[in-house]
Amino acid sequence: MLFPRVGRKQPMLRIAWWAVVAFLCLGIALHLFPFYFMLVSSFKSGEEVLAFPPTFWPQDPSFAGWKLVFQIVQGSAGQLLDAPLWLFFWNSVQITFWVLVIGIPITSMAAYANSKLQRGPMARWSFLFFIGTLMMPAALTLIPNFLLTRNFPFALPNAPNIPGTDTAFPTFPIWDTHWAVIFPICFQAFNFLLFKGFFDTIPDSVIQAARVDGGSEFNIFRRIVLPMSVPVYAVTIWTAFSLAWDQFLWPLVVLQTPERMPMSVELYLLMERIVQSGGTSAEAAAAEAEVMQDMLGGGLSWNGLMVLAILQSLPVFIAFIVCREYLLRGIRLRGLK
């Protein structure tokens, strides 16, 4: 432990100890406050949310925000959604599911191979290559990635011609499909780093013992390494889950069909429509203005958005609870030096 274990009764150390405790509490409070405010705001009335100075406890608790979101989901508050909400939820579930099912095995096996199977400069170079992708800002890869989804496997505006002919190479456009959202985030360099760091701590002798025992490389990975690595899987699954669930910009770019949007994008669009009155056509604007009147009358503005935000972050929170359980269980299982 960083703090000396002996001599805590000395006055200077006591003061230092309480200072440390105070800083920790402050840190926790700063972290938790946005969540608290989100939760509290969802129970405020429309006027109170916008009141200044802000209130930290609803003066006049109301379920107006929750009610309205419920109506929107049911479709009784006008056509604000392009499709029933459960469809977008299902889209998100599908995308996240495939990201985990494809991404985690690929990432972990790549890290295992890099940590235990590759040797010498090869191992170092490939490690640097993977980690190098972390240095690349997402904005830089946005356009090439987009082109790639249009003309897979070419990151070009148009597929090149087959040499000597006029016909272009066949391409497999995955643009405007879920796969365009899934593939780019399957391999996550940060998770690779986590896996690699963990596998490096597994003694080589355990793997060599299994080899001498006759286990094939894949069997060793599945039977020996995997059960030892539960905690790191818990961590990476959670990070991959929240990344896939919350991703926003990329699906907005590659998905066109409204019915294919994930929850995160759809909620954003919904918020936008709620907040902005007016639309593309006069008729729609009139209709929406009418709806807005209704909603504001019912108390929906920011409080409704808070409800939606809670709905969006709930699955991530649940995933965290589940992974946390395995994290602790795995630590108990391992611990073998």
Partner 1 sequence: MTTEAIAEPRYSSETAIKVRGVQKRFGDKHAVEDVSFDIADGELLVLVGPSGCGKTTTLRMLAGLEPVSDGQIQFGDRVVNEIRPRDRRIAMVFQDYAIFPHLTVFENIAYGLRSRREARKVVKDKVTEAAQTFRIDHLLTRKPRQLSGGERQRVALSRAMVRDAALYLYDEPLSNLDAQLRHQAREDILTLHKNKHRPTVYVTHDQSEAMALGDRIAVMADGRIQQIGTGSDLYERPVSEFVAFFIGTPSINLFDMEIQADGDGAVMVGSGLRLRVHPSMTAAARAHVGQRVRMGVRPEDLHVPRMAPFEVTEENTLHGIVTLIEPTASGCTVYLSTAEGQDFVATFTVRLPNSYLDQEIPLGIDLSKVHLFDADTGASLLKGDIDAVSR
Partner 2 sequence: MARIDIDHVVKHYVDDRIVQTNTGRPALDDVSLQVADGETISIVGSSGCGKSTLLKVVAGIEDPDQGRVRYDGVDVTGVRPQERGVGMVFQDYALYPSMKGKGNLAYYFDVHDSSKEEAEQRVRETAERMGVGFDLLLGQVPTTLSGGEQQRVAIARCIVRDPPLFLMDEPICNLDAKLREQTRVEIRKLLRKFKITTLYVTHDQQEAIFMGDRIVVMRDGRIEQVGTFDDLYYTPASRFVATFIGSPPISVLPAAVTDGRLQLAGASWDLPSPVRAAVPDGPVDLAIRPEGWRLDEADGLAVSVRHIERLPTERAAFAYGTVAGRNVTVILPVDHPERDQLTATPDLDRAYFFEPDGERPLHTPGVLELF
Q: Which residues bind partner 1 (CB under 8 A)?
A: 4-10, 13
Given a contact cutoff of 8 angstroms between Cβ atoms, the answer to whether 49 and 303 are in contact is yes
Q: Tokens 């009784």: give the residue.
A: 76
Rounded to a whole number of angstroms, the minimum distance from the CB of residue 203 to partner 1 is 17
Choice between 15 and 143, CB closer to partner 1: 15
Establish if 147 lies at the interface with partner 2 (CB under 8 A): no
Q: Tokens 């896939």: give the residue.
A: 244
Q: Which of 219, 256, 276, 293 binds partner 2 (CB under 8 A)?
A: 219
Q: Which of 251, 281, 302 is nearest to 96 (CA)?
A: 251
Q: Which stretch binds partner 2 (CB under 8 A): 83-91, 124-132, 155-163, 303-311?
A: 124-132
Establish if 123 lies at the interface with partner 2 (CB under 8 A): yes
Q: Which of 59, 79, 208, 276 binds partner 2 (CB under 8 A)?
A: 208
Rounded to a whole number of angstroms, the minimum distance from the CB of residue 76 to partner 1 is 59
Q: Which of 47, 213, 290, 325 binds partner 2 (CB under 8 A)?
A: 213
Given a contact cutoff of 8 angstroms between Cβ atoms, the answer to whether 152 and 173 are in contact is yes
CA distance 240 to 18: 37
- Find which of partner 1, partner 2, none residue 296 binds, CB within 5 to 8 Å per kind: none
CA distances from 153 to 130, 162, 168, 177 (A): 20, 14, 13, 15
Establish if 158 lies at the interface with partner 2 (CB under 8 A): no
Footprint of partner 2 on residues 282-321 (CB under 8 A)?
Answer: none
Q: Which stretch binds partner 2 (CB under 8 A): 74-82, 115-123, 149-157, 298-306?
A: 115-123
| Spacing of C-alpha 142 from chain mean position | 18
**b or e along 155-165 (b: 16 or more beta carbons within 10 Å of the residue's beta carbon)?**
eeeebeeeeee
